[in-house]
Amino acid sequence: MLAADDDTIAESLRKTVRVLCWVMTTPDNHMSRAVHVQATWGRRCNVLLFVTEKDDVGALSVMKVDVATGREHLTAKTMSAFDHVYEHHRDEADWFMKVRRSSRRHRQRTENRHVLRALGARLDPFPGWMA
């Protein structure tokens, strides 16, 4: 059994499985949620980016998108984030994850990083969409 603060496995995986995590957020959540993601599981990502409409927090690595705030603009926000990650970070990681709450690095160590795939749950109301 490993001690709670033993990062041996995590550090080993960090060197062999490069993961870029991008987290969708809003300006209202910068200080109430995003800073806590950065301080906890976000440390496990090789690159951690917060996708938001406003760059007002110097402590966060923010990817500002020029999209209006609101659920009705999530598709545009997501597409802008994909474009940004591809243009500016594609050589920094083997895996690119739009994440919500958990990290999947342990599972990904056994996957072939050269095969394109999408991981997630299919959304029945929206054929072809995954969450």
pTM: 0.68
123 in any annotated domain: no
5 in any annotated domain: no
115 in any annotated domain: no
pLDDT in tens, 19-44: 999 988 888 877 888 888 888 888 88
More confident residue, 112 or 63: 63
121 in any annotated domain: no
Domain containing residue 52: 15-106
21 in any annotated domain: yes
34 in any annotated domain: yes
54 in any annotated domain: yes
**Residue 10 near residue 43, CB atoms below 8 Å:** no
pLDDT in tens, 113-127: 677 666 566 656 656
Q: How many domains does the chain have?
A: 1
**Residue 14 near residue 7, CB atoms below 8 Å:** no
